[in-house]
Amino acid sequence: MTAFNWQTAVIKIGSALVSPDGTGTSDKFLSNIAHFITECRRQGKDIVLVSSGSVAAARGEIRTGQKVSPGKKAAMAAIGQTKMMATWSSLFDFTCAQLLLTVEDLNDRRRFVNIKNTIEQLLDHNVLPIVNENDTVAIDQSKVGDNDNLAAHTAIAVQADCLIICTDVDGLYTGNPRLDPSAKLLSSVDTIDDNIVRLAGGAGSSVGTGGMITKLQAAQKCAQSGIQTLLVNGTKTETFTKLVSGNCPGTLFLAKDEDSTARQDWIKHTSNPKGELVIDHGAYLAVTERGASLLSAGITQVVGKFVANDAVLVTHEGKVIGKGLAAYSSAEIQQIKGVKSAQIQDILGYSDSAEVLHRDDFVLIKPIASKAH
């Protein structure tokens, strides 16, 4: 077991724990989790809950076939969300608050900051924020899609130091423990590389299919933002006694020592790029080796349409090297690309910024495990 320390945690609870029979809600597993949350709060720690289960909670409430249409799922989420909130609230003697989010809310810097401020207010007032995706309005590509990644975005928003993903397996194994008796639980993972991703999705790993990849994606986003992730079995009582005493009974994904700001973490993991800036070799060296801002002179091509303050990818020789918030629109950058900053005023008639991407609004993207991004 690996020891760990934390002050602010996002705890993610999967549908299987909220609705163990796949229909309605149950406190079978939630009461242990609620005790754990209450005890942590008593110790002065801050907790934000991300709870799945709204769709499962509504099963049986409306007629569905074997396959549930997206429209019916949205309706079920609307029904089940209140049931789920009622179940959680019944397990606490303090106030709970509901936050329903969409990917657009997270991608938009102002809405994102609003979410962050709201959660901070709730925590300051000893309220337990309970987050879920707003399944009635989020459809297809506008969905985060899974609450593991939603929990990671939430952890980044509140600058948590810990994400605890409660699921119904003990953690990440070297193989499928149900088929392979020699499969071992990985008690800690330093770097989520391709070998680790393979354990989650590789052939013969039933533990890994349907769910482990999104957990690794969440852990990777968190690790790169300096947040540790714990993957634990929320169906076992002893999981929570161990967590309370500062031990991780499952898999601990270590945080990287990142000196990025909260704004840069948002740019890297949450913002949605609207275009692309292709840069020359000199600019590539300046931003990657010297940590410099990106100037107009180094931009050779502008792809896509975007407005000032939109997120854009920065590419060189066909590879994405970073992401940042553009100080100018795509139409403006078309006019100033390849020219010195001093000429911006003459060309545009104004100069809002000497840099196209300021170094504070820019993050480098290192090539990482291919599936877990």
Footprint on this chain of ligand GLU (rule: CB under 6 A): 14-15, 52-56, 77, 132-133, 135, 146-147
**DSSP class per residue in 250-297:** SEEEPPP-----HHHHHHHHT----EEEEE-HHHHHHHHHS-PPBPGG
Least Å distance, CB 136 to ligand GLU, is 10
The answer to whether 213 touches 149, Cβ cutoff 8 Å, is: no
* Residue closest to ligand GLU, measured at CB: 52
The burial class, CB within 10 Å (0-12 / 13-18 / 19+), for 8 is middle
Distance from C-alpha of 274 to C-alpha of 279, rounded to nearest angstrom? 17
From the list 264, 236, 224, the residue with the least C-alpha distance to 362 is 264
Least Å distance, CB 82 to ligand GLU, is 12
Between 84 and 369, CB nearer to ligand GLU: 84
Between 147 and 225, CB nearer to ligand GLU: 147
Least Å distance, CB 213 to ligand GLU, is 12
The answer to whether 252 touches 230, Cβ cutoff 8 Å, is: yes
Between 131 and 311, CB nearer to ligand GLU: 131
Distance from C-alpha of 221 to C-alpha of 219, rounded to nearest angstrom? 6
Least Å distance, CB 336 to ligand GLU, is 43
Least Å distance, CB 298 to ligand GLU, is 41
**DSSP class per residue in 84-99:** HHHHHHHT-SS-EEEE
Between 52 and 225, CB nearer to ligand GLU: 52
Least Å distance, CB 21 to ligand GLU, is 15
Q: Are strands 319-325 and 362-364 parallel, antiparallel or unpaired?
A: antiparallel
Between 53 and 298, CB nearer to ligand GLU: 53
Between 33 and 344, CB nearer to ligand GLU: 33
Least Å distance, CB 81 to ligand GLU, is 7
Distance from C-alpha of 371 to C-alpha of 349, rounded to nearest angstrom? 45
Distance from C-alpha of 355 to C-alpha of 327, rounded to nearest angstrom? 7
Distance from C-alpha of 29 to C-alpha of 13, rounded to nearest angstrom? 10
Between 86 and 244, CB nearer to ligand GLU: 86
φ, ψ for residue 138 (rounded to 5)? -85, 120
